[in-house]
Amino acid sequence: MTNPENETPLTDETDPRTPFEEFLYHQRRALEETGRALESLLPEGFRKHGSQASKEFSRSFRVLVDAAMSEIKKGKAAEDAADADTDDDGPSTTGKTKVKVQVD
């Protein structure tokens, strides 16, 4: 194993990383450097607007999910209110579309 800062060999006393952990470290560093290389090819304006577009995309889905959750809560509240208004003396039901038949 080597020390990534100065490429000197590491001893087990200074760094207890396994060979696999060392591999993952170098793979992560390679990915970071590749990202920096690709980023340097793009103009500043493109990066700025691309970043803003990504944020707006995320916000749009947040609005959509929040609206869906709100509608689900409204439906659940209406369902709970309807269940509370049912007459307890009549035959029991198993849902809005199914009726349990009471046989004497």
Helical spans, DSSP H, in 1-96: 19-41, 44-84
Q: What residue spans define the domains of the chain?
A: 1-41, 43-79
Number of residues that make up the chain? 104
> Quick one: average pLDDT of 33-52?
93
- The kind and range of the H/E element at 3 are strand 2-3
pLDDT at 90 > cutoff 60: no
Token pair in block for residue 74: 């409204």
Q: Is the pTM higher than 0.75?
A: no
* 8/18 Cα distance (integer angstroms): 16
- Averaged confidence pLDDT in the chain: 81
* 47/42 Cα distance (integer angstroms): 7
Give me the amino acid identity at 80. Answer: D
